Structures are given as C-alpha cells and as structure tokens.
C-alpha cells in the first residue's frame, strides 16, 4: 500500500465516512490536533522511567484513536468505538490518584524540571488546544458531549502525571521572578 494517494493534492481530505472536505476544515483541525497530542504523548513516553506510568500513557494514546475517529466522522454516532462515561471515570481516578500522592500547593508551578515532565506539559498544552478546536467545531456541528468531557479530563490527567514526575517544584508568585 502506498502512503500517498494524490487525492489531497488540491487541499482536500476524506473524513472517516468518505466525505471530502478542505484540509483546514475545523473538524480536520480538531482531529489533527488530537493526532498531534498522540504523537507528543508518544515522545514523552520515551522519557518516563516508571513502567506503570509508561503503560498509562500508552493507554491514553490508544484512547486517542477513538477520540480522533469520532471527530473524523460527520455523525459521531456512526463511529463504533467512542469514549464513554467509564473512560471519563478512569481519567478522574487517575487525577485523584496522582493528586493524593503529591503535595497540595494551590499555585502555579514552573513546568518541566526534567524531560519526562517537560514533554508531558507540552502534551497537556496540545490537549488544551485540541479542546479549544473542538469547542469551535461544536459551535457549528454536533459532537458528543462525552468526547468533550473526555478531552477536558485528559488534559487534567496529563497535568497530574507531569506534576507528579517533576523532579523539583518551582512555585510561581506573580510579580516576582
């Protein structure tokens, strides 16, 4: 199978259901940002030493294929493997777990005291951008509330893991550098 099809040479691409759309269409931008997030998590995973966390990140990556597939389908109900409330509950349990085992300072931190946390913080910001793209998409088209919640919780999950992996925490007080 060839990687190139030449069907996108004029600036269009196919959605999962075969509909041709512009490559800068907000739906393509939404699932493309999820794809970028998945790649970013893949990079971050290479710097994580803890096997359990590495497996968790891989699980998150696999779920992103369902998120992207759902977003790449004009009628999200037609995509068979969508994220569910159970997936959101799983993320919330991860957030609670990592929050419980780290100190509870209620302030901003300077992200990235090591490569694993730094790459996860980049992934978190990509996740937030994906969420913003999805919000724009939702203004004009029907997308699942569940997938919206999932991506929101996912960024919190990634933050929780990144913060847990920080080798040192530098707290930020505004106005002081």
Quote the mean pLDDT of the chain. 91
Q: Which residues of 82-99 are buried (b: 16+ CB within 10 A; e: fewer)?
A: bbeeebbebbeebbeebe
List of domains in the chain: 15-172 (1.20.1200.10)
pLDDT band at 104 (very low <50, low <70, confident <90, very high): low
User: Per-residue pLDDT averaged across 36-46, rounded?
Assistant: 98
pLDDT band at 168 (very low <50, low <70, confident <90, very high): confident
Please give the pLDDT value at position 103: 65
pLDDT at 20 > cutoff 80: yes
């Amino acid at each position: 199978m060839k990687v190139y099809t030449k069907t996108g040479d004029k600036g269009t691409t196919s959605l999962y259901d075969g509909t041709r759309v512009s490559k800068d269409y907000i739906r393509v931008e939404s699932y493309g940002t999820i794809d970028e997030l998945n790649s970013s998590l893949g990079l971050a995973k290479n710097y994580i030493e803890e096997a359990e966390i590495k497996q968790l990140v891989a699980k998150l990556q696999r779920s992103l294929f369902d998120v992207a597939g759902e977003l790449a389908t004009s009628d999200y109900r037609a995509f068979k493997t969508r994220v569910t409330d159970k997936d959101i509950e799983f993320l919330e349990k991860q957030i609670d777990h990592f929050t419980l085992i780290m100190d509870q300072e209620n302030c901003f931190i300077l992200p990235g005291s090591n490569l694993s946390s730094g790459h996860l913080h980049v992934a978190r910001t990509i996740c937030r951008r994906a969420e913003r793209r999805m919000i724009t998409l939702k203004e004009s088209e029907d997308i699942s509330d569940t997938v919206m919640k999932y991506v929101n919780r996912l960024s919190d999950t990634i933050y929780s893991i990144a913060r847990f992996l920080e080798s040192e925490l530098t707290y930020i007080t505004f106005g002081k550098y």
